[in-house]
């Protein structure tokens, strides 16, 4: 037997697609390792008299072949790789000896020193596989693996693509404002970007973390000229993408919740530019939650409705059925409605909503300057003026406002 203790393992990536792999034992070790072997396209044969329910399900689904018996000499014939993980030490030793004779790379869960291969702590992030070996300290391997993968996912470890790329734009929902509330994928794409076109309501603190070479464009300051504002933004996305740049359109909340994300996606599609949409945490749910307001609550509200308040109820351009909304018993969440809330409250009351229905305005939710102002439909118009409530603010109407640690004050 070759002695391995004095020398480090030589790292290599096995390409097992279509190649025979034998797994001895169907317990917890096999349950953990089999999904990666299946994902690698290996032709897996499991030899074991029993298996965990999860492993059995893999066999029933046709992902592996299961021979329900104990190991027999010759089971590793023509195998490229073997995982020995049964509860029978004697069978493990015999299988390991066969692997040595047939020069089959072999991992042993019960005796790493007797193995000819070790399984690294492995993690994956967007096409990158991280595999870590630290000798006989698997916990340290896992900790290092986790730190690297987390860094790749949140962008703290930058790994930009350096090969030529096709034009590409990511429409990223930045969440309600707190930089910690952007998705992991959104943060990683930001770290890989060459150009970021940002909305005023996006998580601004994230822009300061970008490398110096990244061009940050304030969407509000794009020269519009003869173009409408949205058309100019669309053109800027297309021009930078066609120049071979990795472009991120950073938007507040979610791109498809009153964010005109579909208009941008359609413009990119017409220009033949690939686009991916990264959903964001919508302010319609997160901001009330940050202020201690649940949009639903058992025995209080079984529904919530989100509407845009940027057009007044009496405006002929309005697409909102305020009369129907007034009849709902659940929660009403209004975005972009601070300057129209007086008219909105008046319309809801006129259509039958009780004037004393509790209401809360949460300004700059999830940020350091968040504040909550409580009122009712009857008092909100005066309260907004008296408290100088300004956009951005999320408005919540309904009995749920009186729940939680904050109590409604009229």
Residues 393 and 289 in one domain: yes
Q: Is residue 208 included in any domain, yes or no? A: yes
Q: Is residue 6 included in any domain, yes or no? A: no
Number of domains composing the chain: 4
Q: Is residue 409 included in any domain, yes or no? A: no
Which helix (DSSP H) or strand (DSSP E) does residue 250 occupy? strand 246-251
Q: Which of 76-85, 210-219, 257-266, 324-333 has the lowest mean pLDDT?
A: 210-219
Axis-axis angle for helices 28-39, 53-60 (nearest 10)? 30
Q: Is residue 210 included in any domain, yes or no? A: yes
Residues 31 and 137 in one domain: no
Q: Is residue 108 included in any domain, yes or no? A: yes
Q: How deeply is 110 buried, as exposed, middle or buried, from its count of CB atoms within 10 A (0-12, 13-18, 19+)? A: middle
Q: Which CATH number do you get for residue 173?
A: 3.40.1010.10
Q: Report how far residue 66's alpha carbon sits from residue 277's, in angstroms, rounded to the nearest whole number.
A: 41
Among candidate residues 96, 130, 159, the one where a domain is terminated: 159
Axis-axis angle for helices 380-387, 341-350 (nearest 10)? 170
Flag whether pLDDT at 2 surpasses 50: no
pLDDT digits (tens, 9 = 90+) for 137-177: 777 877 888 788 777 776 667 666 554 456 789 999 999 99
- Expressed as residue numbers, the domain containing 294 is 284-402
Among candidate residues 278, 304, 339, the one where a domain is terminated: 278
Which residues are within 8 A (CB) of 136 and not within 5 positions of it... i.e. 6 or more apart?
A: 112
Residues 319 and 360 in one domain: yes
Flag whether pLDDT at 3 surpasses 50: no
Residues 396 and 290 in one domain: yes
Kindly list the strands in the beta sheet with 81-84, ordered across the sheet, starting from the edge strand earlier in the chain: 65-67, 43-47, 20-24, 81-84, 105-108
pLDDT of residue 113: 84
Q: Report how far residue 217's alpha carbon sits from residue 200's, in angstroms, rounded to the nearest whole number.
A: 11
Q: Which CATH number do you get for residue 36?
A: 3.40.50.720
Per-residue confidence band for 206, with pLDDT thresholds at 50, 70 and 90: confident
pLDDT digits (tens, 9 = 90+) for 373-398: 999 999 999 999 999 999 999 999 99
Residues 289 and 396 in one domain: yes
Q: Is the Cβ–Cβ distance between 403 and 293 less than 8 Å? A: yes
Residues 368 and 291 in one domain: yes
- Say how far residue 146 (Cα) sits from the centre of its chain: 17
How many of the other CB atoms lie within 10 Å of CB of 130?
18
Q: Is the Cβ–Cβ distance between 250 and 214 less than 8 Å? A: no
Structure tokens at 399: 């009995």
Residues 76 and 128 in one domain: no
Residues 391 and 311 in one domain: yes
Taking Cα atoms as reference points, which of 140, 135, 391 lies closest to residue 287? 391
What does DSSP assign to residue 8?
Answer: P
Q: Is residue 270 included in any domain, yes or no? A: yes
Q: Is residue 410 included in any domain, yes or no? A: no
Q: Is the Cβ–Cβ distance between 303 and 197 less than 8 Å? A: no
Tell me the pLDDT of the chain averaged across its residues: 89
Q: Which CATH number do you get for residue 344?
A: 3.30.950.10
Q: Is residue 371 included in any domain, yes or no? A: yes
Q: Is it true that the peptide bond before 392 is cis, omega within 30 degrees of 0?
A: yes
Per-residue confidence band for 267, with pLDDT thresholds at 50, 70 and 90: very high
- Determine the 3-state secondary structure of 14 from DSSP: coil
């Amino acid at each position: 037997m070759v002695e391995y203790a004095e020398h480090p393992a030589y790292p290599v990536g096995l390409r097992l697609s279509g190649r025979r792999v034998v797994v001895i034992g169907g317990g917890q070790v096999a349950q953990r390792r089999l999904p990666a072997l299946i994902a690698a396209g290996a032709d897996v044969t499991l030899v074991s008299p029993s298996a965990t329910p999860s492993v059995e399900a893999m066999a029933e689904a046709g992902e592996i072949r299961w021979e329900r018996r104990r190991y027999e000499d010759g089971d590793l014939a023509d195998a490229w790789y073997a995982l020995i993980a049964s509860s029978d030490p004697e069978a493990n030793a015999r299988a390991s000896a066969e692997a040595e004779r047939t020069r089959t790379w072999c991992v042993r869960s019960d005796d790493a020193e007797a193995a000819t291969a070790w399984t690294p702590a492995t993690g994956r992030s967007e096409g990158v596989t991280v595999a870590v070996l630290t000798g006989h300290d698997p916990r340290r391997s896992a900790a290092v693996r986790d730190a690297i993968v987390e860094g790749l996912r949140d962008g703290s470890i930058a790994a930009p693509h350096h090969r030529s790329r096709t034009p590409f734009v990511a429409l990223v929902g930045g969440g309600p404002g707190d930089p910690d509330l952007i998705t992991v994928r959104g943060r990683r794409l930001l770290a890989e970007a060459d150009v970021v076109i940002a909305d005023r309501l996006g998580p601004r603190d994230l822009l300061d973390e970008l490398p110096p070479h990244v061009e940050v464009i304030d969407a509000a300051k794009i020269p519009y000229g003869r173009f409408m504002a949205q058309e100019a933004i669309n053109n800027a996305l297309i021009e930078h993408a066609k120049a071979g740049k990795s472009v991120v359109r950073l938007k507040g909340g979610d791109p498809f919740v009153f964010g005109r994300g579909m208009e941008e996606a359609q413009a990119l599609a017409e220009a033949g530019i690939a686009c991916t949409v990264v959903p964001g945490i919508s302010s319609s749910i997160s901001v009330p939650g940050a202020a201690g307001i649940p949009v639903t609550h058992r025995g209080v509200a079984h529904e919530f409705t989100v509407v845009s308040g940027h057009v007044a109820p009496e405006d002929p351009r309005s697409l909102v059925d305020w009369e129907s909304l007034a009849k709902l018993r659940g929660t009403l969440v209004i975005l972009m409605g601070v300057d129209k809330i007086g008219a909105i409250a008046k319309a809801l009351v006129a259509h039958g909503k009780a004037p004393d229905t509790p209401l809360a305005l949460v300004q700059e939710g999830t940020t350091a300057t968040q504040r909550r102002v409580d009122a009712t439909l009857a008092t909100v118009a005066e309260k907004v003026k008296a408290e100088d409530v300004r956009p951005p603010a999320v408005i919540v109407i309904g009995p749920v406002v009186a729940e939680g640690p904050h109590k409604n004050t009229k």
